Chains A and B, each alone.
Chain A
Amino acid sequence: MTAPLLSAQGLCKRFGAIAACRDVSFELNEGEALTIVGESGSGKTTLLNLIGGALAADAGEVVYRLRDGTARALSSLTEAERRALMRTDWGFVHQDAARGLRMGVSAGGNIGERLMALGDRHYGRIRENALEWLARVEIAATRVDDPPTTYSGGMRQRLQIARNLVTRPRLVFMDEPTGGLDVSVQARLLDLMRGLIADMGLAVVLVTHDLAVARLLSHRMLVMKGGEVVESGLTDRVLDDPQAPYTQLLVSSVLAA
């Protein structure tokens, strides 16, 4: 089997007296979706930011395998390399779509930005690409010139996804991607995401507190509490046969409709 795509080794992060991440390690392979589950304050968002390179770890390392096969520690990347990685090989879907979009720019411009950043200089082609992606995320083509300020929450999320996927990244980070959306909107979005993840063979690191989302989207799961990973394994195994006391509590607390 090939080497892992992403490997976190002994990650630690403190904010003053608070240990937000304690010695967290895991591996992620190509095409694998991993959920990091935990309640508020569990450290899951901190972990996501450490892996994504937005925060520097106090100890430990994150190693990423580039497209050419070389494994690079994130801390060894220059600012330019890291930013380039974020624009091409990685995607980041924020809980609040406004953070991941240019709200004053049309949908087409939002999707086309990465392409233009990579040197695409043909308006017609960029626009065609944008329209293709709008179709894939089920946004009507007539909305291509509208800015996301005119979009609903669900549409903004789908636009954010399109904007991230246009450069065919290999790894996508998602932070509560369905948070705050209506239930029916959530269902549609999750379905879309599931399809895209499968079609494009994306590796995904997903942070959520919603176990149903985790079950639907991911193969593997890390359960975090107080900055530590208390349990990890296949998503269905962790949810159906939870071992750790905290996991058992979490699973039993979920309300069924």
Chain B
Amino acid sequence: MNALHANELLRVEGLSKTFTLHLHGGARLPVLHGVSFTVAAGECVVLAGPSGVGKSSILKMALGNYLVGEGRILVADGERVIDLARADAREILDARRRIIGYVSQFLRVIPRIGAIDIVAAAAQESGLDRAAARERAASLLARLGLPERLWSLPPATFSGGEQQRVNIARGFAGRHRLLILDEPTASLDAANRQAVIDLIAERKARGTGFLATFHDEDVRLRVADRVVDVSRFSDREAA
């Protein structure tokens, strides 16, 4: 049954993932099985568990970046429901454009494009015109404390924290209903962490749902509405 409850943005059901390493004689590496949880509009669901348990893998499957082994990933698209586990490339690209936003752990650097243009491009993709997109980009970068003199520079030479702030701004620049955040505050100082917490709170108030991992317990406590302990789905041998 491909139905979601009224407020649900994302429902993961019976998700499993196993890697097959052909370069190591076809060794199979089971990671997760039976993962199930939901994310509703306006709530932030945090995935918790020890390093290497598969939290990132779940996020990547929700994005279509990793293939799903078994299970369903249902996403609300207005009246429709899409199963990302079965969607084709075109549908996933469309979902990423309109519904699901992503803040990755590392900024993949695009040569020669200035920080503000990277963020503005994301805003434009979601439908804003050039001027409005640029304004939005500027306001996000300002909130995240990125010095204005850096805005026109390509982020390749930025520090880790500066790059991450560009990443976050880009993720928040659009109008996605569901935002996936993979360790967004890892390289940030206290002030910038607070800015991110505030941004999340604002978007939650507007109905955006969040699926995230936070290595920082303090931040987790402040933003999470629910915590899902991924280790109960783990296939890894107990330590």
Q: Do A and B share a direct contact in the complex (Cβ within 8 angstroms)?
A: yes
Interface residues of A (CB under 8 A from B): 1, 29, 32, 187-188, 190-191, 194, 198, 216, 219-220, 233-234, 236-237, 240-241, 243-245, 248-249, 252
Contacts of B121 in A (CB 8 A): 198
The chain A residue with its CB closest to the CB of B17 is: A241
Q: Are A187 and B90 in contact (CB under 8 A)?
A: no
Count CB-based A-B contacts (< 8 Å).
50
Q: Are B22 and A248 in contact (CB under 8 A)?
A: yes
Of A216, A234, A244, the contact of B64 (CB 8 Å cutoff) = A234
**B window 70-98: CB within 8 A of A:** 89-90, 92-94
Centre residue among B94, B112, B121 by max chain A CB count within 10 A = B112
Q: Are B21 and A248 in contact (CB under 8 A)?
A: yes
Q: What DSSP secondary structure best describes chain A's contact surface?
A: helix
Contacts of B20 in A (CB 8 A): 243
Q: Are A216 and B23 in contact (CB under 8 A)?
A: no
Contacts of A240 in B (CB 8 A): 60, 65-66
Of B65, B93, B94, B113, the contact of A241 (CB 8 Å cutoff) = B65
Of A191, A233, A236, A241, the contact of B112 (CB 8 Å cutoff) = A191
Q: Are B21 and A241 in contact (CB under 8 A)?
A: no
The 7 residue pairs across chains A and B that have the minimum distance between CB atoms = A245-B22, A241-B66, A191-B112, A187-B111, A234-B89, A248-B22, A220-B89
Contacts of A248 in B (CB 8 A): 21-23
- Shortest Cβ distance from residue A157 to the other chain B in the assembled complex, whole angstroms: 16
Centre residue among B60, B66, B89 by max chain A CB count within 10 A = B89
Complexed CA–CA distance, A216 and B109 (Å): 10
Contacts of A194 in B (CB 8 A): 110
- Shortest Cβ distance from residue A120 to the other chain B in the assembled complex, whole angstroms: 30
Q: Are B110 and A237 in contact (CB under 8 A)?
A: no
Q: Are A29 and B111 in contact (CB under 8 A)?
A: no
- Starting from the known contacts A190-B111, A234-B89, 5 additional A-B residue pairs (CB-CB under 8 Å) come to A188-B111, A191-B110, A234-B92, A241-B65, A243-B67
In the complex with contacts A220-B89, A252-B23, A236-B110 CB distance below 8 A:
no
A-B contact pairs, 15 of them (CB 8 A): A1-B94, A32-B93, A188-B112, A190-B111, A191-B111, A191-B112, A233-B67, A233-B89, A234-B64, A234-B92, A236-B65, A237-B65, A237-B66, A240-B66, A245-B22
Give the number of chain B interface residues (Cβ < 8 Å): 19
Contact pattern, B 57-68, Cβ under 8 Å of A = 1, otherwise 0: 000100011110
Complexed CA–CA distance, A25 and B90 (Å): 16
The chain A residue with its CB closest to the CB of B112 is: A191
- Shortest Cβ distance from residue B21 to the other chain A in the assembled complex, whole angstroms: 7
- Shortest Cβ distance from residue B109 to the other chain A in the assembled complex, whole angstroms: 10
- Shortest Cβ distance from residue B223 to the other chain A in the assembled complex, whole angstroms: 27
Of B23, B65, B111, B113, the contact of A245 (CB 8 Å cutoff) = B23
In the complex with contacts A219-B93, A241-B60, A249-B113 CB distance below 8 A:
no
- Shortest Cβ distance from residue A139 to the other chain B in the assembled complex, whole angstroms: 16
The chain B residue with its CB closest to the CB of A237 is: B65
Contacts of A191 in B (CB 8 A): 110-113
- Shortest Cβ distance from residue B112 to the other chain A in the assembled complex, whole angstroms: 5
Contacts of B65 in A (CB 8 A): 234, 236-237, 240-241
**B window 109-157: CB within 8 A of A:** 110-113, 121
